[in-house]
Amino acid sequence: MDFDSLSELYSWAEPVILASFISALPHQLKELSALSKELGGAKVIFDIATFKADIVGLYRHFPREVKVASIHLTFGSGTASYEA
């Protein structure tokens, strides 16, 4: 399914999975944060980016009812934490 905007995607999808170029993710997360405040809803939003330093902090701006995460396939059960 194709969407013309993040607003259209946000209104339709549950969960929202971001698999974009790393350069696009900060903008997408900021827009989704604003949409989540404007449109509401208990969504699940996560990305699968390899590099996290520039995006993880952006998840703090989402409302509490929106569940957010930054995941990656190499974060297995043996990974204690990825905190900087």
pLDDT digits (tens, 9 = 90+) for 24-40: 999 999 999 999 999 98
pLDDT of residue 14: 87
Distance CA 82, CA 38 (A): 31
Cα-Cα end-to-end distance for the chain: 36
pLDDT of the residue at 81: 59
pLDDT in tens, 37-66: 999 888 999 998 888 888 888 999 999 999
pTM for the structure as a whole: 0.79
The whole-number pLDDT of residue 84 equals: 45
pLDDT at 70: 84
